[in-house]
Amino acid sequence: MEKQTHQDAAFYCDGSGHAFVLALQDPYASINIYCDGQMRVWVNGEMARTAQDLFDHGITAESEIDDLEWENNPWFAAYDEEGNELFIEHTLDGAVTEAARIIAAR
């Protein structure tokens, strides 16, 4: 599986608090990964709540978000077919790896 460019959930946040990112599935199981949580971070004196807000301020790399003033950061959460939360993860590759492990174990 190809490594994704952006690992931090901030780059997948749409402001809804529950944004679909991707699904992993096989014939027997499916796991949906979402960007969960409300993002609130100060960028150049303005509150950013979505990935688009970050991009609008020229923030396009992981290293550029480390020094921002965070009030609330989003995370990745994985859900099974019935909508039950399975786990949370702070990197996209970590979420994909764990979801793939769970699917393979079923």
Closest CA to 79 of 22, 38, 27, 26: 22
Please report which confidence band the pLDDT of residue 106 belongs to, taking 50, 70 and 90 as the band edges: confident
Distance CA 41, CA 85 (A): 25
What number is the average pLDDT over the span 49-56?
Answer: 97
**Residue 68 DSSP label:** S
What are the pLDDT digits (tens) for 73-86? Answer: 999 999 999 999 99
What are the pLDDT digits (tens) for 11-51? Answer: 999 999 999 999 999 998 999 999 999 999 999 999 999 99
Distance CA 46, CA 106 (A): 46
Token pair 């978000």 is at which residue? 65
